[in-house]
Amino acid sequence: MKGTLRYLAGIAGPNGFGSRSTAEQVTQHCFLPYSHLTAIITGLSSLHFKWMISFEMLGIFKQFLWSRISCVPFDERQVSISSTKIKEPKFCCNTEAHHSSPRIRIFSPNLEFSEEKIELTFATNFLGHYLLTEMLIEKMIDTAKKSGIEGRVINLTSVIHSWVKPDCFSFPELLHPTKYNGTKAYAQSKLATILHAKALSRRLKDRNANVTINAVHPGIVKTGIIRAHKGLLTDSLFLIASKLLKSVSQGAATTCYVALSNETKRISGKYFADSNETNCSDLANDVSLALKLCTNSHTLIHDYLHLSLPNLSLL
């Protein structure tokens, strides 16, 4: 309740920004003395709110004279690991400095599977983007070393990652759930994105790489999840819930802050919400679980695609 009241009041955090801060406000004092950067924004789809937030960030990024902004659209119903095999290698080779921004978000009320027979929410929200990051990371490390410019990876997650209980998070169940619940599957996939940030951050630190990765909760935006649950809520409860929804610019603020601010330099493996570093769940801080998830994901993708990905023994 205390957190909700703080959110509604728009109380600023330690850095002066809060839930009501906009993307323009959190980046107005950013000063980046370089222009030869590339932003890779994934997760654009036909869903209206995704386009709006993505274009909000595109406008912010263009103000900083980024040399190239690559937008990677996905059709949620056609996402698969094998399709990535065809599209991504050329995409990876043509990029220089990579700043990967918001991840695609998907919520499915019914159990569906990807082309490889993997539960669709997990395949889309986590596995596909885990693969993309792993394919880009060596290039990012090399470019950051040569240019002296810090590379930044941002995983889009959600506050509902904290709903996941330890006994409900097992890799076999993530791939092929015996009892499916759409909200639960969504929360699990968002927990996985934080765990990935924790594990990869550890690997980057061990290699003394000038690349960071963090997880960002953009805030409560009017998404398919809210609409899907409206029928289960009374009008009064839905009215209260609607007061928590952010505008497009507010929803893009935290991602823009972590991607562009000098204050987030050298910060890695952290969780941000309302443009401030904050605490994630105990489960999301479980290092052994993070390593296990990434090891299993690495093995799974290698088995499907026979790709040579970075050696996870460094984790």
Give CA–CA dist 41/27, Å, rounded. Answer: 18
pLDDT at res. 95:
37
The predicted structure's pLDDT at residue 39: 76
| Tokens 């409900």 found at | 168
Active-site annotation holder among 7, 34, 130, 180: 180
- Is residue 180 part of the annotated active site? The answer reads yes
* Residue type at position 119: E
* Per-residue model confidence as pLDDT tens digits over 155-185: 999 999 999 999 889 999 999 999 999 999 9
Q: What is the pTM of this model?
A: 0.80
Tell me which residue of 175, 181, 255 sits closest to 219, measured CA to CA: 255
The more confident residue out of 208 and 65 is 208
Summarize the confidence of residues 311-315 as an average pLDDT.
43
Confidence of residue 140 (pLDDT cuts 50, 70, 90): very high
